[in-house]
Structures are given as C-alpha cells and as structure tokens.
Amino acid sequence: MPWNECNRMDERLRFVARLLDGEKMAVACRDFGISRKTGYKIFDRYKEFGVRGLEDRSKSSYRHPNKLPFQIEKAILRIKQDHRTWGAPKIQDKLVKEFPMIKPPAVSTIHVVLDRHGLVKRRKRRRHKAKGTPLSQALAPNALWCADFKGEFKLGNHKYCYPLTITDQRSRYLLACQGLESTKEVTAFEVFERTFKEFGLPAAIRTDNGIPFASPHALFGLSRLSIWWLRLGISIERIKPGRPQQNGRHERMHLTLKKEATKPASYNFLQQQERFDEFIEVYNNERPHQGLEGRYPGELYTPSAREYFEPGVPEYPCHDRTIKVTRCGRICIGTRKINLSTVFAGQYVGVREVADEVWLVSFLEYDLGFFDRELNKVEPVGRNPFAPKVLPMLPE
C-alpha cells in the first residue's frame, strides 16, 4: 500500500506498531511503499524521541550562520547600554555569568552586533572607507560598462554556446561578444583581459548576481572575477535579483543579437563566432541607434585613458600586518588558521586590532569582517558594501 500523504502521522504510528509487534523491517517497508533507509530513520526517531519523534519536522535549515537568538542580541545591547566602555570580551564574560546554561557567542560575533548598531567607536583611519558605487546612468564613455551572458543556445553540432557580452553604457558600443563553452571564470577572465588591453579600463562594471560575476555562497557574494576588477580599480555594480531592467540597455542589445546572429544557430563555434564578429561591426558602425538620435555607437565611443596593468601587492599602512590568503582561503597567523573565503585565495589582506582581542580584516578600501582570539573564522561586518543598490528607472 502507498504511503498516505494525507495523514502521515497515523501511517508512521501503524508502521512503528508493526515493527514493535516483531514484524521484519523489509516486510513492513514493502507494505508501506517506502525504502528501508526511510523505515530505519522513522524507527530510530521513535526510539529516541517517542511518539513526538514521528511528527513532521521543519524543513528550514538547522543552522543559520551569523544568526543570533534575538534574546541574546537584546542582552548584548542592554549590557552595552549599561556599561558604555565595555568591549566585546567583557560583554561575553558577562553573558557567561547571566546565562551559564547557554554557550555564549564568540567575541567577534558580539563585536559585529555592536558594530551593526553603531555602538563601536572605530579608530580614525587616513584612508577613506569605500561604500560601493550606487547604480547610476553613465555620463561619459567608459564610466560604466555592462556585462552579461546572453542565454545559452545549442549549435548545429549539439554543443551549447554561452555568449559573453560587454557594452559601454553611455555610447551603447559593443566591446565584446564571445561565444564560450561555459560560464566558468577561467574563460571569462580571458575575454575581459583581452577587452581591457584593447579598450582600457572602465570606472565601473555592472552585472547581475550570477556566476562568474558573483559567488552566491562566498563572502558578500564576491567572486574571483569581481575581486580582480577591484584590484584593477574598477568598482562593481550589481543589479537587484530578478530586475534585468536595471541593465536595460544591455538587455535590449541582447534582443537584437538574438534576432540577427543566433537564429538559426551556426554549426560550430568557429562559424558562430564569425557571425558574432560581423554583428559587432554592424551594430557599432552601421546600425543607427534611436537612443543616440540616429548616430552609430562607434561615433560616440572612445577608448579609456586608463590602460590595463598587472595589479601589484596592495599596501595597508594603517593596519598591523599584511597577510597573503592561502589557497584554501585562510589567514594564517602563527599556528592559527582563520577561515575567510576561497575567493580571496592568493590575495593580500590587511589585519589590525580594533578592540580588545578583536581584529578587523580589510581588502583594499573595504572592511570585510572581524575575528577574535578564539573563533577561527571571519564574521562579516554588518553591512554588505557590495550589496545591490536600487536603480532609478530612466527611459532607455
């Protein structure tokens, strides 16, 4: 008989009752239409928790990183309000006294809570703390480039093609349209490096939040590609998820590209790239653009005065030390290994003590997070400096 989805609790009770009567697991599972793995899981839950163990469990995550119970966060803020001069280590000791039955949060976690509520007085720094570039309309060529992968399509030889496109937002100039076999970072690096060498460096690049422009599971959603842009002095802009209209000019170009260069698709990559190259020439120098009052993008665009360069090792004069992140994404200090993020592998970060036994980790002008004397991972700062910004919608 199939498992009764309408009353799973009764079905589990009958299933367990038959096992308690001495019936074999394999026979009971076969009659109820479930696997033996599921059967043993249900029976083990009954033996450990009794009848309550047969109730449906929440499907939400068991662990919520960087999420404190609101009672603990409230207690932290109360202690800080009562003792303005106390830092995170002393507040942690106080929490141990008040709540001996609960494992206290790490010192760096407490410091993040205080920092998020503006209760940490940061030491003055000479360098300006960048806050990310808000989305805006570019007023000159190379002030903003837009990049994206046009939706993949299948070639005649049944291989998928992923066109990576780059445009100048002000002039609509199509800088690159390269058909790739995947959206992997290594091939995207090659396209951007070639484009930088040919046209120079922009002030900012706007993308969506997908791979390889962002990493959903990395610190602040950064990727190796976006970190490379930051080292080149290029600001990163991200549209809000599900809002492709915030990159409207680029999306409009994709519609034209789809109509004129992908239908029907060519047989192989070589033939398809030839069509892309022809499209670039026509789009830039032969096709009048209504948004440019009938002019060609090639009439407005000029290469950037900022030439491409190999970025050197960043300096952190206001920090206690400069440390190279290991290949596994860790900061090593003596025998300690503090987890940061693998996207920073090989990069140099600055570390400085900002409170009693609480250290701040920075990359270039950006503060990433804190760690303490015990917790071997970096707790992100309260505000994401690379979070998507709201773009005022202007007519295209």
In a domain, residue 136? The reply is no
- Whether residues 75 and 42 share a domain: the answer is no
Closest CA to 92 of 102, 244, 343: 102
Give me the residues paired with residue 367 across strands.
362
* Mean pLDDT, residues 8-16: 83
Least confident piece of the model among 270-274, 326-330, 386-390: 386-390
pLDDT in tens, 143-195: 999 999 887 899 999 999 999 999 998 999 999 999 999 988 889 999 999 99
- Whether residues 150 and 259 share a domain: the answer is yes
pLDDT of residue 58: 53
Whether residue 2 is predicted with pLDDT greater than 50 in this model: the reply is no
pLDDT of residue 211: 87
- Whether residues 174 and 288 share a domain: the answer is yes
- Whether residues 77 and 112 share a domain: the answer is yes
Reduced to 3 states (helix: H, G, I; strand: E, B; else coil), residue 222 is: coil
- Whether residues 277 and 230 share a domain: the answer is yes
- Whether residues 187 and 87 share a domain: the answer is no
The number of folded domains in the chain is 4
* Mean pLDDT, residues 320-338: 91
- Whether residues 45 and 99 share a domain: the answer is no
| C-alpha–C-alpha distance, residues 172 and 146, integer Å | 9
Extract the tokens encoding 5. Answer: 């989805």
- Whether residues 294 and 153 share a domain: the answer is yes
In a domain, residue 88? The reply is yes
Whether residue 315 is predicted with pLDDT greater than 70 in this model: the reply is yes
* Mean pLDDT, residues 278-289: 90
In a domain, residue 205? The reply is yes
Closest CA to 249 of 394, 35, 60: 394
Find the helix or strand (DSSP H, E) in which 162 lies: strand 160-168
Quote the distance between the C-alpha of residue 97 and its chain's center. Answer: 38
DSSP 8-state secondary structure symbol assigned to residue 364: T
pLDDT of residue 112: 84
Which residue bears the tokens 């995170």?
88
pLDDT in tens, 36-95: 888 898 888 888 877 777 876 654 444 444 567 777 888 888 888 888 878 888 888 888
pLDDT of residue 61: 43
pLDDT of residue 277: 93
Least confident piece of the model among 58-67, 139-148, 338-347, 361-370: 58-67
Calculated CA dihedral for residues 338, 344, 345, 348, nearest 10 degrees? -80
Query: Which CATH number is 102's domain given?
Result: 1.10.10
User: Binning pLDDT at 50, 70 and 90, where does residue 126 land?
Assistant: very low
Domain carrying residue 358 = 321-380
